[in-house]
Copies of this chain bind each other. A is one copy, B any other.
Amino acid sequence: MKRELDALFRPRSVALVGASANPSKLSHVALQNLSTGHFRLYPVNPKNQEILGLRCYPSVLDIPDEVDLALISLPAELALEPLKECVRKRVGVVIVTASGFRESGDEGARRERELVEAVSGSETRLLGPNTMGILVPSIGLDTLFIPRDRSERPTAGSVALLSQSGAVSVSFLERARGAGVGISSCVGLGNMTDIDENELLGYLASDKDTRVIAIYLESFSDGRAFVDIVQRISPRKPVVILKSGRTQAGKRAASSHTGSLSASSEALVDGALAQAGATRVYDEEELVDTAKALAVLGKISGDRICVVASAGGYGVIAADLIESVERGAALSMAALAETTQRSLKGVMPGFSSVANPVDLTSLVTDEMYDSVLGVIQDDPGVDAIIMSLELQPPNVTDRLLEVAERRCRSGRTPIVVSVFAGERTDEVVKVFGQHGVLAYPTIWRAVRSLGALARRGSHLNMRK
């Protein structure tokens, strides 16, 4: 079934209104970024015949083709007329990027009402204004006006982001890239004058490329509708949300940022999101961390965690972070079965601890770690494992990375890796991410992700 928003997510033809031949202009950057996409591209600018080797048209009305998606890259006061032309052209979706609308006071609010009137009752839908637009890596759709050498884009993958902040989008995309997480699409919501977060959620719900939906929101267009749709989506697709404007200061800041007024009480929002099965997070790093966990593992079926480390100290810190309610994830340390402990004794150094946390000591070898993970994956009393992977012990080699990957991808008890590899840590985490291994560079981020996975598992169980 073809849907209206396909014009936004899967356009066959894209027009860029206000395309500039001047490389220092944002609209030139956007044209450059769009020029490698898998769709027909039409720059629009009455002053130019050709830009970047592409024929340039005076108006969208002059383009001898249907236009699915148009990007209007002009200042706020110049956006209305081109938008009206797009409506006449029956463009599917128009993105208005400029700021200077509702968020900037009365004059801007009047301008925004004019945009609404222009599309009202037409076949044309409006994304924005005040948005960076859309990124769909799989088809090279990239309306972001940031040069790629300033902010490299992630690869195609299964995580979608809806975001009311361009900067949060950029940070998300950069972190996703660094973590080896692929993106299905990233949409800047802007002022949500026409297309809003709920409609986009509805689209992503049945988008087969999207397995996890991440959201940054400062205010709801319609809170009740949002909760309803999340409740409907979340059993099949995890939804993780960074909802800011939690405090009075945050609400005031959101109001001057996106012109949005969030009257909703924080306790109410929190309860509603939890009941709908959304995972709530609190900063830009946790948003990517959690989306990654949900994309790689989805859930864990209980809260009994086993920690395996060659560094005793990490085992102790992990145990605290797992069990602590106030300063931790409120999970529990698994009690290992007698048979598990006996098997561990057979493969570990004499004076190591075969209780949980399992302490391999600095005498650890790749083979020892492999055997120990195998034994623990056999214990039905363990719902997930934290593997503290340290590359410093003398008898450990890079083959331990292969061991980790094989054990993590075995389809048996889920494993989250916390990586301690000095200056190589970030690279190891990234490659693991690309290979479908859930890994983080600190103990807390590994434990925190297990917390999110356990809450999702428990929520799904309750629904049964």
A interface with B by C-beta (< 8 Å): 24, 26, 29, 99-100, 103-105, 108, 145-146, 150-152, 163-168, 170-171, 174, 178, 216, 218, 242, 244-250, 252-254, 256-258, 282-285, 309-317, 319-324, 327-328, 332-333, 350-351, 353, 355-357, 359, 361-362, 390-392, 394, 420, 422-423, 426, 442-444
Report the separation of the CA atoms of residues A187 and B14 in the bound assembly, to the nearest whole angstrom.
62
Evaluate contact between A167 and B314: CB separation under 8 angstroms: yes
Q: Tell me if B390 and A311 are in contact (CB < 8 A).
A: no
B311 touches A166 (CB 8 A): yes
Name 18 interchain pairs, CB-CB below 8 A, sorted by A: A100-B351, A150-B392, A151-B422, A163-B313, A166-B362, A167-B420, A168-B317, A242-B317, A244-B313, A245-B320, A249-B323, A249-B332, A256-B312, A257-B312, A257-B353, A257-B359, A282-B321, A285-B442
- Give the complex CA separation of A282 and B317 in angstroms: 8
Choice from B252, B313, B333 contacting A355 with Cβ under 8 Å? B252
Q: Which of B105, B322, B353 contacts A351 (CB 8 A)?
A: B105
Write the chain B residue with the least CB distance to A26. Answer: B394
Instruction: Select one of B163, B253, B324 contacting A357, CB under 8 A.
Output: B253
| A-B contacts besides A167-B310, A247-B323, 4 pairs, CB < 8 Å | A151-B422, A167-B392, A174-B420, A244-B317
Q: How far is the CA of A420 from the CA of B341 in the complex (A)?
A: 46
Contacts of A29 in B (CB 8 A): 394
Closest B residue to A361 by beta carbon equals B99
Q: How far is the CA of A178 from the CA of B423 in the complex (A)?
A: 8
| CB < 8 Å neighbour of A442 from B284, B350, B444 | B284
Provide the residues of chain B in CB contact with A165, threshold 8 Å. 311-314, 316
Residues from chain B with Cβ under 8 Å of A26 in the complex: 394
Contact B146 A392 (CB under 8 A): yes
Interface centre among A249, A283, A310 (most CB of B within 10 A): A249
The 5 closest A-B pairs by CB, nearest first: A165-B313, A167-B311, A257-B312, A104-B351, A250-B320
Q: Are A314 and B426 neighbours in the complex by a CB distance under 8 Å?
A: no
Chain B residues closer than 8 Å to A178, beta-carbon distance: 423
Q: Are A313 and B283 in contact (CB under 8 A)?
A: no
> Bound complex: CA of A154 vs CA of B380, how far in Å?
43
A173, closest chain B residue (CB): B422
Bound together, the chains give a CA A333 to CA B321 distance in angstroms of 30
- Point out the residues of chain B lying under 8 angstroms from A328, CB to CB: 247, 282
Say whether, besides A150-B422, A361-B99, A247 and B319 are in contact (CB < 8 Å): yes
* Residue in contact with A170 in the complex, picked from B104, B361, B392, CB distance below 8 Å: B392
Is the beta-carbon distance between B283 and A443 smaller than 8 angstroms?
yes
- In this complex, what residue of B is CB-closest to A101? B351
B257 A423 Cβ-Cβ under 8 A: no
B422–A152 touching, CB < 8 Å: yes
